[in-house]
Structure 1
Amino acid sequence: MIALFGFILILVLSNFEFGYCIHFPINSAAIGNASAGISREYQLIFAHVLYRHGDRNIVGTFPKNQYSDLKYWPGGYGALTNVGKRQQYELGKYIRRRYLKKLISEYYLPNEVYIRSTDVDRTLISAQCNLAGLYPPTGQQVWQASFKWQPIPVHTVALESDYLLYPVPTSCPRFTHYFNEYLQSVEMKSLMREHKDFIDFLRKNSGIQNMTLEALTILYDTLFVQNLKGFALRDWEKKAFNSNRTLAYLAGVYYEAFSHTKEMKKLEAGFLLKEILDRFKNKSLSLLQRSLHIYSAHNLTIANVLNTLNFFKDLHIPPYASSMYFELYKRGAEYFVQFFYRRTPTETAPLKILNCDVMCPLKRVYEIYKDVLPSDTESYATLCRLPN
């Protein structure tokens, strides 16, 4: 783990994720017209979908938490809830409406779609629930008349090897160096001093002795989830949770810290973005048959991608089942890219690409983000080495 903090955190590596949903406004300058139509001369030929898992239990606790007992958390800490399963099922139906007869057939075909998840229970289960909505069996794919579901493969790799989707590097000394350097910077120390009285208040009431920015984030997440589940909050918890949204803001700052510099952006999201763009390039060269690639991941995964693409100027935390869409269009002999962010079921907005537009030539996208994309000769292992 990147930082240590002095409170009880019943947590294993696969549960290390911050699951709060802070709703700060998105930078309006970076958002295009959500209702803007796409000219018929543009033909959609490929898409990537990146989504966050659905609603889940708390991932950690603190010494004076009255709801630490597992009896309050069916399935255990970090488990996907029934609400989360339904969220993903509905998201799968939305993806079907978005791409049916454009990129995918009515039937599931393995040469059309590929699904990858982090090796975490809640993302793996989210992917299965999403696929239930995306591909309800029909015709010859109905194998049990009374059971409208079909098994579809979801691929994964071990967490310690997953530098594409898992947002908390466990074996990248270079990232750890930059991350801890930023947390110990003058800027961050000044931030903690500015909120010293509030932090001391939280330390006294929560029982957390080493109140780092990471600890504040986990505390916020725990209170957020417990409040969302309808559990009664004590007076100090209400004050902590609602006091001018200070705790939410500090959690948001910690979130942004993972991809604060160009070097960290490259390590946290650069390899995923390069895979997406390279797959677009291969599709444009007729080297790829599939037309849809889906990733099931975490809110920090999405936040890192948004920040790396310069769509994260105003803090917000990607909510449960939020999603991003990376789409490739063909116009004549040219290829264009468009990004969308579906923050909630009622918010799906095209993102205006830096120094370009909502519809941007593929070659231009490579140029715009060249500083945060690894080169063809740079491997993750090489970039993770400590700087001299």
Structure 2
Amino acid sequence: RHGDRAPTEYYPNDPYKDEGKYWPRGFGQLSYIGEEQHFKQGSFFRKRYNHILHETYNVNDTYVRTSYIDRTLASAQSNLAGLYPPTEQNRAQPNIKFQDIPIHMVDMDNDELIWNTENCAKYTTLLTYLKESDEYLCVMNTTATVQKEVSEFAGYSTFKRIIYDILFIDLANALVVLSPTAKDGEIEVRISELYNLPLPEWTKPYYPQPLKNLYLFEEFITAAGTNELQRLSAGPLLKEIISNTQAKVNGTLSPDRGLYIYSAHDNNVVEMLQTLKVFNGILVPYASAILIELRNKSDEYFITVSYKNSTELDPYLLQLPGCDALCPLDSFVELTKPIIPDDLTTECTEEVVAGQEYHFEIPAADLLANHLGVHPVTNNLKDPQVHLSQWNISHSQPYWW
């Protein structure tokens, strides 16, 4: 994920909507903090992968791809500054204090790896149907009052989930400098220290909770809430990763690179974690990275998946359901086969069966139950008058109130 940034937009009653005064680089742009975060990550990657990289950039070493957004491009530049620090060759050119490294990007209309869901009609239709599910409607009914009140305070005519991101100027920013067990109150204090922008008084009953869970549910859990949505969102990128990995093993990868870097967004990280069935339901901090690594042990090939969600801590080794943490490559390929699209263009134009009921699948269903306290026990949940009695949600549970 890109590093710390300014809010991408402001709400109508936002006291900090003066872009020139509060966000001198512009809305959505990478901040100085974000630059530092990715420089640290790049330095970490240099130590971790030094044995497979030249000191000076070589086209056969590294390939970098970003989304068509300024902050992911700037994050990649900062990351590469840490990954490829100046060398003796640079010192011979004192006016050039960095290594110039190509960064590749594709415009949004043609991006099939990072912005692919924006151009996939089938994904849009499936997401619409999922939002008609009992589970989704239950959450919307349960939070209807909160959404109405927040909209009125913020000046919205209808609720926008982005309000949470604006209010905390992204909670994940604080997570990189605090313990992973930091409480919301501690995080809010840290944000004030970073930006010195106290939140309006009206936000206290709603921020960080219940807006945090509503944002998590709507923006992330729902977006990859079924196997089909995962197949169309993270599936194409995972397909490219597996293809490059198999080519590396077979000796057919050309150029024979050792490192592929994709600079993207929090939704891309969550979609990949959900697709691999290892998402823990926690918002993705800035400059987080998923490390999918090929390992050779006694002439056998394995895949490990790690999650680095802090610039200060080592990555966490993850274990995919159905495989060991050190997962044989063949097993990894077989395990992920159901969520790898054969041909994305063809699948995105396929018609979706109308009238079929869609429900959240693993891991989204588990997240609803274990993280958000939503336990479906009936299929008749569209009536807002019955939702509290039909679902195990009550005012005593600290999920939405």
Whole-Å Cα distance in 2 between the matches of residues 170 and 306 of structure 1? 19
User: 2:204: which partner in 1?
Assistant: 238
**Per-residue deviation, 1:190:** 1.2
C-alpha contact 1:64 1:207 (8 A) present in aligned 2:
yes
1:87-130, CA deviations, whole angstroms, 9 ceiling, x for partnerless residues?
111111010011102x1122211111111111111111111111
SS of match in other structure, 1:273: helix
Contact kept? 2:4, 2:33, Cα under 8 Å? yes
Of the structure 1 ranges 61-70 and 87-96, higher mean CA displacement relative to structure 2 is found in 61-70
Aligned partner of 1:191 among 139, 146, 154: 139
Whether the 8 Å contact between 1:270 and 1:374 is mirrored in structure 2 is yes
Amino acid at match of 1:219: I
Partner of 1:100: 50
Contact 1:89-1:129 at 8 Å conserved across structures = yes
Shift of 1:204: 2.0
| Partner amino acid, structure 1, of 2:8 | V
CA distance in 2, matches of 1:233, 1:333: 57
Deviation at 1:284, TM superposition (A): 0.5
Partner of 1:162: 111
Distance 1:321 1:367 in 2: 30
Cα gap change, 1:58 to 1:149, in 2 (>3 Å): same
Partners of 2:147 and 2:315 lie apart in 1 by 36
The answer for the alignment partner of 2:234 in structure 1 is: 269
Task: For structure 1, list consecutive stretches of 5 or more residues without a partner in the other structure.
Answer: 1-51
Amino acid at match of 1:100: N
1:140 partner letter: Q
The alpha-carbon deviation at position 367 of structure 1 amounts to: 1.1
The match for 2:38 among 63, 88, 97 is: 88
- Is 1:209 aligned to 2:157, yes or no? yes
RMSD over equivalenced CA pairs, Å:
1.7
Q: Which amino acid aligns with 1:248?
A: K
- The structural deviation recorded for 1:165 is 1.6
Which residue identity does 2:143 align to in structure 1? H
Q: What amino acid maps onto 1:302 in structure 2? A: V
Segments of 5+ residues of structure 2 without an aligned counterpart are 171-187, 354-401
How far the C-alpha of 1:195 sits from its partner, in A, is 2.0
Q: State the shift of 1:308 in Å.
A: 0.3
* TM-score, normalised with respect to structure 2: 0.78
Post-superposition Cα deviations, 1:230-266, rounded to whole Å, max 9, x if no partner, equal 2121111233213xx2110111111111111111101
> Partners of 1:60 and 1:183 in 2: how far apart?
25
Name the structure 2 match of 1:47: none
Report SS of the residue matched to 2:46.
helix
Where 2:3 maps in the other structure, the secondary structure is: coil
Aligned-residue offset at 1:156: 0.8
Which AA in structure 2 matches 1:87?
Answer: Q
Partner in structure 1 of residue 288 of structure 2: 322
Alpha-carbon distance in structure 2 between the residues aligned to 1:121 and 1:267:
24
Q: Residue in 2 aligned with 1:331?
A: 297
Q: Secondary structure at the match of 1:368?
A: helix
Match of 1:291 in 2: 258
Q: Structure 2: which amino acid aligns with 1:383?
A: C
1:184 deviation in Å? 2.7
Amino acid at match of 2:79: N
Distance 1:62 1:185 in 2: 29
Per the TM alignment, residue 162 of structure 1 is displaced from its structure 2 partner at its CA by: 1.3
* Corresponding residue of 1:224: 168
Q: Show the 5 A alignment for 1:93-172.
A: 93-101=43-51, 103-142=52-91, 144-145=93-94, 147-166=96-115, 169-172=117-120
Residue pair 1:116, 1:156 contacting (<8 A) in 2 also: yes
1:337 alignment partner, SS class:
strand
1:360 matched residue in structure 2: 327
Q: 1:57 to 1:324 in 2, by over 3 A?
A: same
State the match for 2:359 in structure 1. Answer: none
Q: CA deviation at 1:379?
A: 3.0
Please report how far the alpha carbon of residue 143 of structure 1 lies from its aligned counterpart in structure 2 after TM superposition: 5.3
Provide, for residues 63-93 of structure 1, a one-character-per-residue CA deviation record: whole Å limited to 9, x for no partner. 2111112122112110111111111111110
Change (3 A) 1:287 1:142: farther
Report the secondary structure of 1:371's partner residue.
helix
> 1:318 deviation in Å?
1.1
Q: CA contact under 8 A between 2:305 and 2:317: conserved in structure 1?
A: yes
Contact 1:253–1:315 at 8 Å: present in 2 too?
no
Per-residue Cα deviation, 1:195-219 (whole angstroms, up to 9, x for no partner): 23322221221121212xxx12x00
Q: Which moved more, 1:321-330 or 1:103-112?
A: 103-112
Query: Are 1:328 and 1:338, in contact at CA under 8 Å, matched by a contact in 2?
Result: yes
Which moves more between the two structures, 271-280 or 186-195? 186-195
For the residue of structure 1 that corresponds to 2:101, the secondary structure is coil
Quote the Cα distance in structure 1 between the aligned partners of 2:314 and 2:47: 16
1:381 Cα deviation from its structure 2 partner: 4.2
Q: TM-score, normalised by structure 1?
A: 0.80
Higher relative contact order (CA 8 A, sep 6+): 1
